[in-house]
Amino acid sequence: MTELLSIILAAGEGTRMRSTLPKVLHQVGGLPIIGHVTRAAHDAGSTRIALVTGPHHGAIRQAVTAIQPDVVHFEQTKAKGTAHAASMARELFATAQGYVAVVYGDHPRLRGENFRVVLDRLDAGLDIAILGFEPKDPTGYGRFITDGETLLEIREHKDASEEERRIRLCNACILAFRADVFRDLIDKVGNDNVQSEYYLGDLVGLANKAGKKVGFGVAPEDDVIGVNDRSQLACAESLFQGVRREDFMKAGVTLHDPQSVWFSYDTEIAQDVTIEPNVVFGPGVRIDSGAVIHAFSHIEGAHIGPNVSVGPFARLRPGADLAEGAKIGNFVEIKQAQIGKDAKISHLSYIGDASVGAEVNVGAGVITVNYDGYNKHQTIIGDNAFIGSNASLVAPVTIGAGALVAGGSIITENVEADALALGRGRQINKPGRAKIVFAAAKAKKFSKKDL
């Protein structure tokens, strides 16, 4: 396979986002924009990936490293244009073999196949291939000046004539070169333009003057949408969600109201899963066949086993692992907990840092008291145990198999298997006392009205 060095440009400040968060760290489908671009470069077969960022972009470098640990970082200390930014990766392209692809880091819909459109043109004999598209509104984009299949120049919008601005074919976001051609031309780019910047697109004209073969490929507009402001971010999210919904339904997932279900970039769902309206999936969710996710549930970092029922109004947080046939009901929150086969936690409960056995029944209002202000502690509930309503299990604590915890109990000590545990004060009834209490309360209420 031909070696491919991909240089991702992410040194811009993204001021139009009106955000303290760098533009490329805003998320689409639960993944930072720059993460989508990095994944696309990897999927295209990149043997090396370089990331060019600005001087205050440590958070971007950290995020990309978490996604692609072997990425090589470079810094553009002063913004002088895209060609200048790409030249910051000289350490890698100076000895690169094969191809060099330069890609803009603010295109969250990019996929590996978009790279292949231009890389295949290099395979066919071109020296340079640029990815283009035909937007509904070409305002602001560089225009392709062509002669048949030959790309003669890329004219930036600010430098284009009125006639050139009527051209529909525009520069997208990937510029691919034979490595030796890129090396020879990158330092020849000048800055004689309205912005006094060094444009990558000028490599096209330089290559033609040098007798190189220059062409282009075309991608669908939805694949190469860039993000510069919140409106474009919302548009990219909408496109992403639309594709994911269609993919899941084609794979055998039932969505009662597709438009109200939101997926993450890594959501995994088996066939014959049913998802009701208004469900949100954060990153790290895997759902096995036959599960039903009821309306208004929020799920992230969780595994949902076969034939599990979740919700409505349930929240599964990272570390939730539900075994086959488990039932998690309305207003139940599960965090960092394993829930056993056919266990039932049906109403108004919080189960965190816990292991719940098979066929356990957890009553309404039960909570695992897992945090002491400094550390989290574990609750273990054995198979077939029954936890009565409104019980508080103060961790660390173990409830043995088959044990019964009486409703309203506060359990601070381990309960052995098959034992009955009661941890509450004894009830006292005082005959006739209710009338006295109500009378006093009524008198107090009406005395306030007289003031």
> 268, 284, 278: which is closest to 318 by C-alpha?
284
> 62, 61, 42, 39: which is closest to 52 by C-alpha?
61
3 state DSSP class of 210: coil
> 186, 173, 283: which is closest to 225 by C-alpha?
173
**Encoded tokens for 402:** 């088959």
347 as an active site residue: the answer is: yes
**C-alpha span between 387 and 370 (Å, rounded):** 16
Rg (the chain; Cα; Å) = 30
Angle, alpha carbons 200-203-206 (nearest 5°):
155
Helix (H) or strand (E) holding 65: helix 58-67
Residue 89 burial by CB count (10 A; 0-12/13-18/19+): exposed, middle or buried?
A: buried
Task: Give the amino acid at 193.
Answer: N
**Encoded tokens for 18:** 């009106």
**Encoded tokens for 80:** 């002088």
Give the relative orientation of helices 33-43 and 58-67 as an angle to the nearest 10 degrees.
40
**C-alpha span between 247 and 232 (Å, rounded):** 23
For 226-248, b/e burial (b = at least 16 CB within 10 A) is bbeeeebbebbbebbbeebbeeb
- What's phi and psi for 260, nearest 5 deg? -100, 0
Query: For the residues of 299-319, what is the DSSP string, one character each?
Result: E-S-EE-TT-EE-SS-EE-TT
**C-alpha span between 416 and 18 (Å, rounded):** 59
**Encoded tokens for 328:** 């998690």
Cα 306 to Cα 213, 255, 290, 315, 361: the distances in Å are 56, 17, 5, 18, 19
Q: Are strands 170-178 and 99-104 parallel, antiparallel or unpaired?
A: antiparallel
**Encoded tokens for 337:** 């907990």
**The one catalytic residue among 42, 73, 157, 347:** 347
Task: Give the amino acid at 58.
Answer: G
According to DSSP H, which parts of 68-171 are helical? 82-87, 90-93, 112-123, 162-165
CB 206 within 8 A of CB 188: yes
Q: Kindly list the catalytic residues.
A: 347
